[in-house]
Amino acid sequence: MMSSRKLTQLSVICWVAVLFCQSVQSQLQVGFYTNSCRRAELIVRNAVRDGINKDRGVAAGLVRMHFHDCFVRGCEGSVLLDSTSSNSAEKDSPANKPSLRGYEVVDDAKTKLEAECRGVVSCADILAFAARDSFDLTGGISYGVQAGRRDGRVSLIAETSDLPAPTLNVDQLTQSFAKKGLSQEEMVTLSGAHTIGRSHCTSFSDRLYKFQWNKLARTQAWMPHMQPV
């Protein structure tokens, strides 16, 4: 039988793959590049493996990047776009910079894909494949990714205000996900993506202690192996 951990991961995967892409669901399909770029998914997987071998934490970074991409404009790769002299893009938002990572893995995969089948595989699909491979290569499960996304051309820093902050309480989180058409149950399922990776104490210590005074000292007393960053 499948373990509860595997079931949780599978649930997360299904919601990430489907719920954020409902508007284009009918256009997507597993094996989308079978004829146009047969080795597309393998090339992405190898790039993710190389990235994890250099920095294991990049696996969690790619999963988080996929979520941050999907939550703003849908899964269309807008989080990958750079800012210009006339526009500040999503990636330069405090919600993404400097914490969001894994861009170099997507760039590596894109470079190799362009050499093999130029102009065929979208960056949005690369990121979706990479998130899947990150789960799989760190002990989770593999799954079929529906592909065929088109890359977005608009990326606005102001729209990252939609991203749920770590300081939100349950009611605020529920409202944030409801704006995307997602229920509280779906919110909890998607939050299961955080089963890989780690968080710094500053992201959650306010929730552990009633009083603000000497918070850092109290945190270190409970977790002496963790040092302030």
Binding site for substrate, by residue number, is: 164
* Residues in binding site for heme b: 194
Peptide bond into 228 cis (omega under 30): no
Label each residue of 73-138 as H, E or C: HCCCCHHHCCCECCECCHHHCCCCCCCCCCHHHHHHHHHHHHHHCCCCCCHHHHHHHHHHHHHHHC
Q: Is 53 helix (H, G, I), strand (E, B) or coil?
A: helix
Query: Is the alpha carbon torsion for 6, 12, 16, 22 positive or negative?
Result: positive
Residue that has been written with the tokens 């309480």 in this structure: 169
Q: Is 199 helix (H, G, I), strand (E, B) or coil?
A: coil
Residue that has been written with the tokens 């990121």 in this structure: 127
Active site residue 68: yes
Alpha-carbon distance of 38 to 28, in angstroms, equals: 16
3-state percent breakdown (helix, strand, coil) of the chain, nearest 5: 55, 5, 40
Catalytically active residues, by annotation: 68
